[in-house]
Structure 1
Amino acid sequence: MKFKLLTATILFSFSLSNLLAQVEQVKVRTHEIGIQTDNDSYLGQGSDQYYTNGIFIYYRQALSINNPSATRLANRVLGIELGQKMYNPQSGSVPDKEFIDRPFAAYLYAGANLNLLYKNESNLKISLQTGIIGPAALGAEAQNLIHNTFGFYTLQGWHYQVKNSFQLNFSGEYNKLLARAKWIDVSGSTYANIGTGFIGAGIGPLLRVGNFNALYNSVSTQSTASKVGLTPLHQHEVFLYYKPMYNYIGYDATVQGNIFKHTAGDEVTGTPEHSVFSQQIGVAYSGSRWVLDAGAVIHSRDVTRMVRTHKWGTVTLLYRFK
């Protein structure tokens, strides 16, 4: 039954892509703005745990390329983002700190990134984020607002959250096309983080099935904004993707607290799992104006005391314009 459903989904994706290509032509769009929202409730599993909510606002602008015919670059994109991530234990209401298997924590930040995309379908994305982890990140206030608005249960335990610590974090991401057939391709993906909050690295493949574009102008590499007239493989992207990844965690301030100080007061911290495996499966679409990416993430335990694995849904919606 699951195989039949997957086959029907793929066939529907191809048909939708071909139909959209007939009624709308993709134009060069140099700017895009949008929002991403993550929440474990999107999967309908009735849970409210671990990485429980995230919200991000994006603005991206394609940059000019001098003498494009004589350079390896196919596209350059500058990005700015604002974001907040919230974490709580196996429940947002714990009667005692002994039940905290993953610390209460929130991360509020602003960031910028430069995405360099090459004609050989590789890209290097360099990012800088600065912000705060702790009560000043307003995690308790945001989660209380959500619960009060929708009539969810009363929260209890945020006074145990990790204390305030200033954040300055750098990251680099590299992707490279490995092989491609007509309707399927596979890429390699790696990243590394270093900073006051996050130290680690990861590696894994990205499998795409459907109508996808080259990695220098695709949803997959956040490069749908472009300032040059790139010829797409397809007028519209509509594809399924699967991205498993091995992650090494050296330090995580949402688990361990301030990297420069020991635990203080009522703060409850944890011990991270250094080897973490994640999987993301989803569907992506890009057209002349709109970009949509929706997926589900399964994440192994990243704290030694955690009772079970993470699972959450993620949805990104972008609007492209000149």
Structure 2
Amino acid sequence: MKKKFFLLALCLLSGIGAYAQSRGNEIGFKSDNDSFLGQGSDRYYTNGFFLNYRHAIDGAKLKSNMANAVFGLELGQKIYNAQSGQLPSAAEVDRPFAGYLYLGASANILYKNETTVKLGARVGVVGPAAGGYAVQKLIHNTFGFYELNSWQYQVRNAPQLNLSAEVNKLLARSSWADLTFSGYVNTGTGFNAAGVGPMIRLGNFNQLFQSVSTQSTVSKNANAGLLHKNEVFFYYKPQINAVLYDATVQGNIFKDHPEPGTQEIVGDINHLVFSNQLGVAFTTSRFVFDIGAVINTREVKQMVKSTHQWGSVTVLYRFN
């Protein structure tokens, strides 16, 4: 009897272990804020919050050249200030205030040769309906920050439908470092841009088909043959961006600017923006963490500051 009980317990424990190994789903959040860098700034892209859910496609349904495929949903909001949220006059507004609220879906196809293609679509709104002022006011009131007085200078409401494509391709790898080409294209009613650049990783990283770097830490493919059980690595991603249109700066793409009878202040975008992203990513058996910083050159010609930067924290939980 004891022997049978022991075998039953062993089977149950084995089942629990197998269950723990399955990481087909992932849920979590990403938070961006310029205050994360401890500089006391509250300008330009000042806050972003995103809720994510990702689901891996069954490995048995993948084509022979595919290592992984991930479907994702995202609810996000971005908030933009001028050089401050408290300004004495419209003359001090060097970048329009704006909120951007959206719901997005994505399909991330990851190949065995470590080429990845991620396609996405987002629907949402830019302007007062995005709730940027309400959220920033709540944050300032909660933490005792200064009183906002300049949100009357935000862009007007504009519905959004935007599409995106992102490509990554491994170029070279050693045991502790690798180099990847990365590029993207955005197009739609609010955001039209493209960018390219390298991504450098140093440390214990996994292949691009199941890594923090490509938002593909979930998988139902048991034979992935990963380089490491858990990832712990530093990354650096410089990028050059060509920007054609940005609704958070220029407002509704279908209307003349500034719109008659409004206090809208419309900025003049820089069509060439350089970006530097760096950080540390690591995973456990269930959790994914990514802590980084982004530094951009001036995105609007009127900006008083030549660069702006923010910190980013991502926390995800994987489950079956």
2:41 equivalent among 43, 47, 70: 47
1:153 equivalent among 146, 157, 164: 146
Q: TM-score, normalised by structure 1?
A: 0.91
Measured in 2, the distance between the counterparts of 1:116 and 1:213 equals 16
Measured in 2, the distance between the counterparts of 1:124 and 1:52 equals 29
1:267 equivalent among 264, 267, 271: 264
2:161 equivalent among 168, 183, 186: 168
Alignment partner of 1:78 is 2:75: no
Alignment partner of 1:304 is 2:301: yes
For residue 67 of structure 1, report the CA deviation from its aligned partner: 5.8
Opposite residue 93 of structure 1, the aligned amino acid is Q
For residue 288 of structure 1, report the CA deviation from its aligned partner: 1.3
**RMSD (CA atoms):** 1.3
Alignment partner of 1:194 is 2:187: yes
Computing the radius of gyration over CA atoms, which structure comes out larger, 1 or 2?
2
SS of 2:249's equivalent? helix
SS of 1:147's equivalent? helix
Alignment partner of 1:277 is 2:236: no
1:115 equivalent among 86, 104, 108: 108
For residue 197 of structure 1, report the CA deviation from its aligned partner: 0.3
Q: Which residue of 2 aligns with 1:18?
A: none
Q: Which residue of 2 aligns with 1:19?
A: none
Measured in 2, the distance between the counterparts of 1:179 and 1:231 equals 18
1:183 equivalent among 176, 187, 193: 176
Measured in 2, the distance between the counterparts of 1:283 and 1:192 equals 25
For residue 66 of structure 1, report the CA deviation from its aligned partner: 4.1
Q: Which residue of 1 aligns with 2:14?
A: none
2:312 equivalent among 296, 301, 314: 314
Q: Which residue of 1 aligns with 2:24?
A: 30
Residue correspondences, number: 298
CA contact (8 A) 1:28 1:228 kept: no
- CA-to-aligned-CA distance 1:260-313 (integer Å, 9 cap, x gap): 002221111101000000001100011210000000110100000111111100
For residue 65 of structure 1, report the CA deviation from its aligned partner: 3.9
SS of 1:210's equivalent? strand
Measured in 2, the distance between the counterparts of 1:90 and 1:275 equals 20
CA contact (8 A) 1:89 1:104 kept: yes
- CA-to-aligned-CA distance 1:45-93 (integer Å, 9 cap, x gap): 010000000000000000124465x611100000000000000101011
- CA-to-aligned-CA distance 1:191-210 (integer Å, 9 cap, x gap): 00000000010000000000
SS of 1:144's equivalent? helix
Measured in 2, the distance between the counterparts of 1:232 and 1:286 equals 13
SS of 2:35's equivalent? helix
The answer for unaligned runs of 5 or more in structure 2 is 1-16
Opposite residue 231 of structure 1, the aligned amino acid is G
Q: Which residue of 1 aligns with 2:243?
A: 249
The answer for unaligned runs of 5 or more in structure 1 is 1-23
Q: What fraction of aligned residue pairs are identical, expressed as a percent?
A: 57
Q: Which residue of 1 aligns with 2:120?
A: 127
Q: Which residue of 2 aligns with 1:16?
A: none
